[in-house]
A and B are shown apart, each in its own frame.
Chain A
């Protein structure tokens, strides 16, 4: 694992900043990981530069994910962030373009996304591999990706309402949605209305006789 040594990806992040100064908000290094905060409207240009630039060659699309920073108790974002969501792109450069040798340079690009307009340009035009992860972020976090060729739900059913990984989406207590607008019981509700099989164990009250 990386220690005090300067990570190679920091050099790449600085090159990115010098080539696209308007796109980079900040560069943060912690525990050997380099995270670049990128303006939302510039993400496609940044990703394309990282992919195409002969010195950078970030050709491996590792993944992307969404993070919701909403604190449901205060209604504000935690850690004093001015935005509710972040989309994190995890890109790798696996081959040194100079020597052809294997290397492992990893950059995390972070895009701040406001709660009022959760939409980010899709990077599918650069990385075909962003197709599934962006659908997943849309499905579970409710962040839309403009320009995505097929932005459908991927893990939840097509007619699901709500985005489960949002912090204001409850873990339990919601009734289970089924296709066709029907709902099943929520966690804690009695599933079977006869003795001995009540979910909460309140068999008698489920039968309606003794409390």
Chain B
């Protein structure tokens, strides 16, 4: 990192008057003692390719401006050229740490357009997959967040346990990160033999692991010093900035989509929504840790109450017929052919279904014109909205706190840039 004393023009060039106004900071008169430091886009603690331009007074941050777009791949544009079934696969690649939940959010919007109900077993499996994904995503957050602050040990433990959860996804779908297993109409397939037993073994082991992380971090005075009272934000500020998820809940509002607008039968499971008090980095850590425990409770209940039955709807306009039927039924052959050549055709309309992702509220705003491709496919990206709080969180803090704050809002740049 290079730092040079900023002249007025240097600040204007790097940050821009307009940017300063957007952040609500008065730029004039320009203080000759401040300097501008660039952080990223390639920096280990920016969790991807985030660039921050920070104006410092000594070690104190006067102003922080995020620059994004380095991994923009035009996913929303690509989505308009895919059939509804194919577009599932690109939703994986947005928030690559919670692919199941991206699939789910997209799928629920398509199903709302179609107006279909999926079988109970598919719903329960969707709940299981999304909670497995939530714990896996939170483990990556915990690992990298702790590593950023300097607690290296937690990283190895968390990744070890995440691997067990990814193994469950792999056992079911064949891949670890980009499963596309949740599709309009249900799931691509049922759980393989032995999956629930393996899942139960992981679920039994998790509480002990969560205890380990807590011991590693909570009883470490450096961890507490670095996180408590750092990067505080209030509920009102969060709502105004569009911040949701654990970051909002750590400030004290128990807004969890799974509770207030249940989908996939989340209302049938007994769990509570952990909230924080101060809205600082430490509270966001506590909230996520408690959320992993709640997800584990949901998993446990889901295994015990797993209903039998199909995992895809019987509607042949949405889900393909079983292979065996093709040999005997002409109808089935036609359906199969039409589904693979044309795909599904939801009626014209618009749909948005909010879903609780590990980062916050995710949802796809789909506009259908009645054809087999979405007219518009827009994701409400929780990380993108949460990132808006970063300048507010960093302002007036020390430069060393920036890595702790970025870690605590848990952003994934793949989703921000799309």
Binding site for B on A (CB under 8 A): 1, 30-31, 33, 35, 59-63, 65, 67-69, 78-79, 88, 90, 94-95, 102-104, 106, 108, 124, 127-133, 136, 140, 149-157, 164-165, 169, 171
Do residues A104 and B260 form an inter-chain contact, with CB atoms below 8 A? yes
Do residues A90 and B77 form an inter-chain contact, with CB atoms below 8 A? no
Shortest B166–chain A CB gap in Å is: 29
CB contact between B115 and one of A31, A103, A133 (< 8 Å): that residue:
A31
Do residues B388 and A78 form an inter-chain contact, with CB atoms below 8 A? no
Specify which chain A residues have a CB less than 8 angstroms from the CB of B417 in the assembled complex.
155
How far is B237's CA from A61's CA once the two chains are assembled, in angstroms? 11
What total count of A-B pairs have CB within 8 Å?
A: 126
Do residues A156 and B263 form an inter-chain contact, with CB atoms below 8 A? no
CB contact between B387 and one of A67, A88, A132, A164 (< 8 Å): that residue:
A132
Residues 346-371 of chain B: 1 if any A CB is under 8 Å from the residue's CB, otherwise 0?
Answer: 00111111100000010001010100
Do residues B77 and A62 form an inter-chain contact, with CB atoms below 8 A? no
Tally of contact residues, B, Cβ under 8 A: 53
Do residues A95 and B253 form an inter-chain contact, with CB atoms below 8 A? yes
Specify which chain B residues have a CB less than 8 angstroms from the CB of A35 in the assembled complex.
350
Shortest B295–chain A CB gap in Å is: 20
Decide: A78 near B18, CB < 8 A? Known: A132-B385, A155-B68: no
CB contact between B241 and one of A65, A68, A128, A154 (< 8 Å): that residue:
A128
Chain B residue at minimum C-beta to C-beta distance from A126: B240
Besides A67-B367, A127-B241, A129-B242, 14 more A-B contacts (Cβ < 8 Å) are A1-B353, A60-B244, A61-B240, A65-B376, A90-B380, A95-B253, A128-B241, A132-B388, A140-B76, A149-B22, A150-B16, A152-B16, A155-B72, A157-B69
Do residues A129 and B18 form an inter-chain contact, with CB atoms below 8 A? no
Chain B residue at minimum C-beta to C-beta distance from A160: B69
Specify which chain A residues have a CB less than 8 angstroms from the CB of B239 in the assembled complex.
59-61, 94
Specify which chain B residues have a CB less than 8 angstroms from the CB of A31 in the assembled complex.
112, 115, 349, 351
Whether, in the assembled complex, B78 has its beta carbon less than 8 Å from a beta carbon of chain A, the answer is yes
Whether, in the assembled complex, B375 has its beta carbon less than 8 Å from a beta carbon of chain A, the answer is yes
How far is B239's CA from A102's CA once the two chains are assembled, in angstroms? 14
Shortest A124–chain B CB gap in Å is: 8
Do residues B385 and A63 form an inter-chain contact, with CB atoms below 8 A? yes
Do residues B388 and A128 form an inter-chain contact, with CB atoms below 8 A? yes
Specify which chain B residues have a CB less than 8 angstroms from the CB of A155 in the assembled complex.
68-69, 72, 417-418
Shortest B27–chain A CB gap in Å is: 12
Shortest B354–chain A CB gap in Å is: 8
